[in-house]
Structure 1
Amino acid sequence: MSKTESARKLYEECKDMDIEETMELVLSAETEDEQDFFSMLSDFVLQRKQKNVIAQKRF
């Protein structure tokens, strides 16, 4: 599997995570790089949720 295919699969697996799951990953990271990556994933999840709330005018 190519890196591009792996990244697409990773996106599909992570796009529906909730913020608690991503925060758990951040807190359990073994390295600073891993923590940074999981923090970016957490930001992505939060941004998607915010976008949905704004689209539904629930703010």
Structure 2
Amino acid sequence: MSKTEAAIKLYELCKDMDIEETLDLVLNAETQEQQDFFSMLSDFILQKKQMEVIAQKLF
């Protein structure tokens, strides 16, 4: 599997994660680099949820 294919698969696996799951990843990261990566994933998930709320005018 190429890195591009792996990245696409990773996106598919992660796009529907709960914010709590990503927070757990951040808090349990083994390295600062992992923590940074998981923080970016958490930001992505949060931004996606915010866009859904805005689109539904639930704010």
Q: TM-score range by the shorter chain?
A: over 0.9
- Give unmatched runs, 5+ long, in structure 1: none
* Alpha-carbon shift at residue 16 of structure 1 (Å): 0.2
Identity of aligned residues (%): 76
Runs of 4+ in 1 over 4 A off after TM superposition: none
Letter in 2 for 1:27: L
TM-score between the two structures when normalised by the length of structure 2? 0.99
Alignment of 1:1-59 (within 5 A): 1-59=1-59
TM-score between the two structures when normalised by the length of structure 1? 0.99
Q: Distance in 1 between matches of 2:37 and 2:13?
A: 15
Paired residue secondary structure (2:57): coil
Superposed CA RMSD in Å reads: 0.2
Letter in 1 for 2:40: M
Q: Distance in 2 between matches of 1:19 and 1:8?
A: 20
Q: Distance in 1 between matches of 2:18 and 2:54?
A: 18
Letter in 1 for 2:30: E
